[in-house]
């Protein structure tokens, strides 16, 4: 297993833990003390999901070329990590309408990127 894959696994594991328990990574996730509102608590989980997304990029994007495949795939996996953490936060902490707006924006962006990758013939997974 290459060093990039190991780095991806480590980052993905740290991202999962940061999304599940954002209070453990206070400076990294900017976990509000005391919790301000539901939106801020969910957003602190999303910051952990972004670390998960970076780990997924290292795991899923094998090469940088061709750029027309690697850049959309990297953005897709980054947004996937954030979306996973956001949905976890909504399930655990509760939902506000603004969070559902962000879910729709992220899901729409992932749909556009998935269509781009499907049309380009690149690996989306």
CB 8 within 8 Å of CB 59 = yes
36 in a structural domain: yes
pLDDT tens digits for range 20-45: 988 887 777 677 676 678 888 888 89
Domain count, the chain: 1
42 in a structural domain: yes
- The model's pTM is 0.87
Q: Residue 71's domain spans which residues?
A: 3-120
Determine if the peptide bond prior to 34 is cis (ω within 30°). yes
pLDDT tens digits for range 40-55: 888 889 999 999 999 9
């Amino acid at each position: 297993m290459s060093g990039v894959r190991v780095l991806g696994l480590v980052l993905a594991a740290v991202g999962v833990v940061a999304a599940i328990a954002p209070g453990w990574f206070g400076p990294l996730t900017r976990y509000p003390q005391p919790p301000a509102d539901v939106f801020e608590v969910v957003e602190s989980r999303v910051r952990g999901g972004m670390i998960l997304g970076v780990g997924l990029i290292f795991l899923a994007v094998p090469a940088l070329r061709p750029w027309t495949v690697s850049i959309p795939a990297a953005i897709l996996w980054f947004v996937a990590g954030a979306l996973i953490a956001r949905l976890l936060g909504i399930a655990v902490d509760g939902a506000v309408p603004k969070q559902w707006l962000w879910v729709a924006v992220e899901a729409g962006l992932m749909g556009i990127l998935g269509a781009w990758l499907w049309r380009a013939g690149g690996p989306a997974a």
